[in-house]
Amino acid sequence: MSFDMGSILKQAKKLQEQMKKVQEELAEERIVHSTAGGLVKCTVSGMGEVLGISIAPEALAEGHEFLEDMVLVAVREALTKAHQLQSERFHSITGGMNLPGLDL
């Protein structure tokens, strides 16, 4: 069996370009998760960057421990959704292969 190194390098470059494109697209994606009936919302990018947290004034009346818990839940869930989206997008171009350095 012979390997065409030029072909392999060409495929690697194409995969690298696809990965970069997916990363750029994910950076533009916005994922919002809300808790407590929408009192607390967290917005993250598809790459997992926390972009904002919104707290409705009514949430303040629930107490600080409640608010802390709801912020934590909103952030965790938004980040989980972002990670799932990353995994779906990257696996669609890698054919499900686990590639070194791709921690999904």
Residue 19 resides in a domain: no
Domain membership of residue 50 (yes or no) is yes
* Structural domain includes residue 8: no
7 lies in some domain:
no
Res 23: pLDDT? 93
Position 103 in a domain? no
| Backbone angle region of 85, left / alpha / beta, with phi > 0 → left and psi within -120 to 50 → alpha | alpha
Contact 82, 47 (CB under 8 A): yes
Question: What is the pTM assigned to this prediction?
Answer: 0.79
What domain count does the chain have? 1
Quick: pLDDT tens for 54-83: 999 999 998 999 999 999 999 999 999 999
Residues 6+ apart with CB under 8 A from 87: 104
> For the domain that residue 34 is a member of, what is the CATH number?
3.30.1310.10
Report yes or no on 22 lying in a domain: no
Look at residue 83 and tell me if it is in a domain: yes
Residue-wise pLDDT for 4-58, tens only, equals 888 888 888 988 899 999 999 999 999 999 999 999 999 999 999 999 999 999 9
In a domain, 80, yes or no: yes
Structural domain of residue 62, as residue ranges?
30-94
CA 52 to chain centre: 14
